[in-house]
Amino acid sequence: MSFNACDESGDWPPRSCLAVVLAAGESTRMRSARPKVLHELAGRSMLAHVLSALEEAGAAEVAIVAGPDHEAIVDEAKKLRPGAIIAVQAERLGTAHAVLAARDTIAKGYDDLLVVFADTPLVRPETFNAMRKKLARGQDAVVALGFKAKDPAGYGRFICEDGRLQSIREERDATEAERGIYFCNAGLMALDGRRALSLLESIGNANSKKEFYLTDAVAAARARGFGVGSEIAGEDEVMGINDRAQLAAAEAVLQARLRAAAMRGGATLIDPNSVTLAFDTVLGHDTVTEPHVVFGPGVHVGEGARIRSFSYLEGADIGPNAIIGPFARFRPDTMLAEDVHIGNFVEVKASNIGHGTKINHLSYIGDASIGSGTNVGAGTVICNYDGVAKYRTEIGENVFVGSNSALVAPVKIGSGAYIGSGSVITGDVAPDALALGRARQIEKPGRGKALRQRPRKEPCPLAKEQVPAGTPASGSEKDGL
């Protein structure tokens, strides 16, 4: 059994904690084949948000209560918490019944038991810790989480006397007076682990739905003379998600949190409401993000960088003072050094780009390594895929790649090399060499005028013309460059 401290100040001793995460709900109102708790907020599942918050709150052990056919939930849980215990709720007979699916684990005797919901993903670690801290004082066997509702309809009500929680009444079982209470049940609960199993097993189903309600743990504790406490959270924090509209509302709440944290950390968001962040986005000091930028998971932006409008970044490490976009797309495994410039309509994927390199216009860079000080011209494409496999391209330092070039991987271009515009490069290029891969140009005096003056129905004669053998090259080739 693991033990952990929940208060770094040391004013209460380390305590063991088991979290039981109820994740057996279906996705009926979501109208989705995907289990509800695997729908994402800010780039990760609801279940992942809950497990992360529990880990920060010191819940060293986790039991996931899933339905009998929820392999995807089990896989997600094991990916995030490999040691998680999986309990199956075969029948749905209420929340207390669901918690008791983890009976054997609860019986091990943890100091604290947290009961949480996988579809309530915005609860902060600080809130879980506040509930645990009240248990640690030894006065309460149950601590229920509540909130002050703007509209209490549909919620269970906290029935209090002299500021102490007496019971929780489901709305369908509440009196008219009790329905006027605005202090409502969030559903989450912390229980004294030494008494939790006995309390849960004592809960009956004498209610209109004949279900075993977790909320009845409050009355069960008071009936035995145990103390009952409550903790208050903001209404947005305890938002449950059952449909797509609620998912969007939760996303808005989470995005507001992430944006505020980024700005407090020293990043500028010119129009915060138009920027979408992922749960793990890191924006360094003095970074500037222009409007309408989307950060997918796994993005780190170094100090002083600027992300211009309408860019999409995922799985990328952006070096200090880089300039990205507008209209740039970064795909996973992209790493940029300091002072790199990636311009409009440039896509970069699985590539390392060195200090001061510039790729400013209309290019695709995939599976490549590019040294420092290199310039990649407009319209350059790295041809990294042959329909079966992908190959890498290596470009050295201080290389000039002319516009409208295609680099057919695998290929290596040495430092200081020069690629003539419009070239198709299929072989390695030595350092400091000039490489050209163009079709030869010919010129026929007066033919342009003749073509313009031909009868409209006459076929274009250029379709049948051939370039005669030995025709001299034009442009840089003809000039002997």
Residue 53 has pLDDT above 90, yes or no: yes
Catalytic residues: 361
Interatomic CA distance for residues 129 and 9, integer angstroms: 13
Phi, psi of 283 (to 5 degrees): -115, 120
Q: In DSSP terms, which residues pair with 227 in a beta bridge?
A: 140
What is the fold of 244-435? UDP N-Acetylglucosamine Acyltransferase; domain 1 (2.160.10)
Interatomic CA distance for residues 45 and 67, integer angstroms: 17
Strands 358-361 and 316-318: unpaired
262-286 tens-digit pLDDT: 999 999 999 999 999 999 999 999 9
Confidence of residue 452 (pLDDT cuts 50, 70, 90): confident
Q: Which CATH architecture has domain 17-232?
A: Alpha-Beta Complex (3.90)
The predicted model gives 225-231 an average pLDDT of 94
Both structure tokens of 219? 């009355």
Interatomic CA distance for residues 295 and 282, integer angstroms: 10
Q: What is the mean pLDDT of the chain?
A: 91
Confidence of residue 24 (pLDDT cuts 50, 70, 90): confident
374-388 tens-digit pLDDT: 999 999 999 999 999
Of 280, 323, 320, nearest in space to 303 by CA: 320
Q: Percent of the chain beyond pLDDT 70? A: 93
For residue 337, the model assigns a pLDDT of 98
Both structure tokens of 70? 């929820």
The predicted model gives 161-166 an average pLDDT of 86
For the chain, the structural domain boundaries read 17-232, 244-435
For residue 103, the model assigns a pLDDT of 95
For residue 449, the model assigns a pLDDT of 85
